[in-house]
Amino acid sequence: MVNVAMDSLTAKILARASGRDRVEVGETVVATVDKVMIHDVTGPITLDLIDNLNARIPKPESLYIFLDHYSPSPSIPASGIHRRFRIFARTNGVINFFDVGEGVCHQVMVEGIVKPGEVVVGADSHTTTYGALAAFSTGIGSSEAAYAILTGRLWFKVPEPLYVRLDGALPSYASGKDIILSVLGILGQEGANYKALEFAGPGLRTLSMSDRLTVANMSVECGAKNAIFPLDEVTLDYVREFNTPIDLSSLSYLRTAKVESPHLTLDLSTLEPMVAKPHSPANVAPVPSVEGVSIDAAFIGSCTNGRYEDLLAAARILKGRRVSKDVRLIVTPASKRVLMRALQDGLIKMLLDAGAVVTPPSCGACFGGHLGVVGDDEVIISSSNRNFVGRMGSPKAKIYLASPVTVAASALEGCVTDPRRYLG
């Protein structure tokens, strides 16, 4: 491999996947796709197309199917969709089929499935999440998913990199959510449109994999095609935890990322808890400036912040306390694995004791389909990723996005609250 050290990690992966030594920014390449993901919202259109072509799936083991958005099914049409998927998986030999209750696609995909250096596409915009593992991953449409499933390849324009340098250490009250909300506030809703957000710098070592996954997840909210982190000790520890088989010697090209002359530098040590106000994830403000806004509901979950670390962070605040009687706090673990671990460690009991409603693993309230739909004129603070009009239910509702600790502190007080009050 003759990769040029200065190239972006994204360009290096796309070069490898298209059998080239080097690719230029802006050039179109046809890359081999390692894995394709579809789910119960975008997948039915993909199945229609595959059925219509009457085609055989050449590598069913590369296809990952999730029933996670309507999970368990809240309606007759959704049950019909699920039934169709089950039959499809059985007849096409799709072994990687995750039925209701297994969890949100993006969380399960990073629990030992996606490997550093891979090219992974998913019919879901938050497929950018896997970049936290030093993979190239991006969201595509349902037709492109059918194309990738049937041919094992897809065309990509090599995106222009947007380098973000992280300095300093992440304070204990802040997390990946506060980082990405700060980035969104600076770049705006289309500030990284079509670009590859690449994170590097000395601050990285203070970011857990959970923080990185949150950052990569929400990078799409400023239009990024993908987000990527270099491979370091945090990545390796994570990969080991899941026993993901990797060939480290072939991945050394993912270790070095560009830190000089970045487009954006963030000093993590000065970070405040951040919140995105209605109705855009880029409409951000420091929590103190919106403190006191009353809320009716609070949600901790989703592929952004429904991990074990998120539940643990929330439990740190909720332990031995009671959620305000005017607020319903809904907690939806992002996967069965997360739920099991939180059960074993007593976190679930702690959350229930504090007055939370704990649901099965699902997209749940994030998507406004079930498990906590928000009504007219209600205000919710949520650890998820989108606060567009109508996203979580009624178009007349207001959604604030924040980190799990900010959501937990707000649930206790009944209004938007700075978590530092509880974290000393």
Partner 1 sequence: MCLKSVEGIVLVVGDNVDTDAIVPGRYLTLTDTRELGKHALEGLDPSIPGKLKERNLIVAGRNFGCGSSREHAVLALLGAGVKAVVAESFARIFYRNAINRGLLVVEAPGVSQKVSDGDRLVIDLESGVVVLASGETLPFKPIAREVLEIIEAGGLIERLRKELQYGRG
List contacts with partner 1 (CB under 8 A). Answer: 28, 41-42, 44-45, 48-49, 52-53, 55, 69-70, 75, 77-78, 80-81, 123-125, 127, 139-144, 146-147, 150-151, 155, 157, 189-190, 193-194, 223, 225, 280, 367-369, 386, 388-391, 395
Spatial separation of the C-alpha atoms in residues 282 and 334, rounded to whole Å? 24
Amino acid at the residue 275: V
Q: Which two tokens stand for residue 31?
A: 């890359």
Residue pair 10/228 in contact (Cβ under 8 Å)? The answer is: yes
Helices 209-218 and 233-241, packing angle to 10 deg: 100
Contact flag: residue 363 with ligand SF4 (CB under 6 A): yes
Q: Which two tokens stand for residue 25?
A: 């920014």
Backbone angles phi, psi at 22, to 5 degrees: -155, 145
Residue partners of 261: CB distance under 8 A and separation at least 6: 163
How crowded is residue 237: how many other Cβ atoms within 10 Å of its Cβ?
11
Q: Which two tokens stand for residue 183?
A: 């980035």
Q: Which is nearer to ligand SF4, 120 or 158 (CB)?
A: 120
Partner from ligand SF4, partner 1, none contacting 302, C-beta within 5 to 8 A by type: ligand SF4
Minimal CB distance to ligand SF4: which residue? Answer: 363
Amino acid at the residue 224: A
Spatial separation of the C-alpha atoms in residues 199 and 323, rounded to whole Å? 36
Q: Sign of the CA dihedral 56, 60, 62, 63?
A: positive
Q: How far is the CB of 210 from ligand SF4 (least distance, A)?
A: 15
Q: How far is the CB of 305 from ligand SF4 (least distance, A)?
A: 10
Partner from ligand SF4, partner 1, none contacting 63, C-beta within 5 to 8 A by type: none
Partner from ligand SF4, partner 1, none contacting 81, C-beta within 5 to 8 A by type: partner 1
Partner from partner 1, ligand SF4, none contacting 53, C-beta within 5 to 8 A by type: partner 1
Partner from ligand SF4, partner 1, none contacting 128, C-beta within 5 to 8 A by type: none
Beta strand extents in 77-229 (DSSP E only): 97-98, 119-122, 136-139, 153-157, 161-167, 196-200, 226-228
Residue pair 99/67 in contact (Cβ under 8 Å)? The answer is: yes
Partner from ligand SF4, partner 1, none contacting 422, C-beta within 5 to 8 A by type: none
Helices 176-187 and 209-218, packing angle to 10 deg: 30
Residue pair 397/273 in contact (Cβ under 8 Å)? The answer is: no
From 103-111, 271-279, 370-378, 392-400, give the range in contact with ligand SF4 by CB under 6 A.
Answer: 103-111
Partner from partner 1, ligand SF4, none contacting 296, C-beta within 5 to 8 A by type: none
Q: Which is nearer to ligand SF4, 14 or 109 (CB)?
A: 109
Q: Which is nearer to ligand SF4, 197 or 213 (CB)?
A: 213
Q: Which is nearer to partner 1, 140 or 234 (CB)?
A: 140
Torsion-angle region of residue 383: left (phi > 0), alpha (psi -120 to 50) or beta? alpha
Q: Which is nearer to partner 1, 63 or 327 (CB)?
A: 63
Q: Which is nearer to ligand SF4, 235 or 332 (CB)?
A: 332
Q: How far is the CB of 139 from partner 1 (least distance, A)?
A: 4
42-78 exposure pattern, b = at least 16 Cβ within 10 A, e = fewer: bbbbbbebbeeeeeebeebebbbbbbbbbbbbeeeeb
Half-sphere exposure of 41 (CA within 13 A, CB side): 17
Q: Which of 62, 182, 302, 382 binds ligand SF4 (CB under 6 A)?
A: 302
The site map against ligand SF4 for 303-322 (x = CB under 6 A) is x-------------------
Q: Which of 128, 385, 387, 403 binds ligand SF4 (CB under 6 A)?
A: 385
Contact flag: residue 111 with ligand SF4 (CB under 6 A): no
Spatial separation of the C-alpha atoms in residues 404 and 309, rounded to whole Å? 9
Spatial separation of the C-alpha atoms in residues 337 and 343, rounded to whole Å? 10
Within 48-87, which residues bind ligand SF4 (CB under 6 A)? 69
Q: Which is nearer to partner 1, 230 or 369 (CB)?
A: 369
Q: Which is nearer to partner 1, 54 or 344 (CB)?
A: 54
Contact flag: residue 127 with ligand SF4 (CB under 6 A): no
Q: Which is nearer to partner 1, 193 or 256 (CB)?
A: 193
Question: Which residues contribute to the site for ligand SF4 (CB under 6 A)?
Answer: 69, 104-106, 124, 126, 302-303, 363, 366-367, 384-385
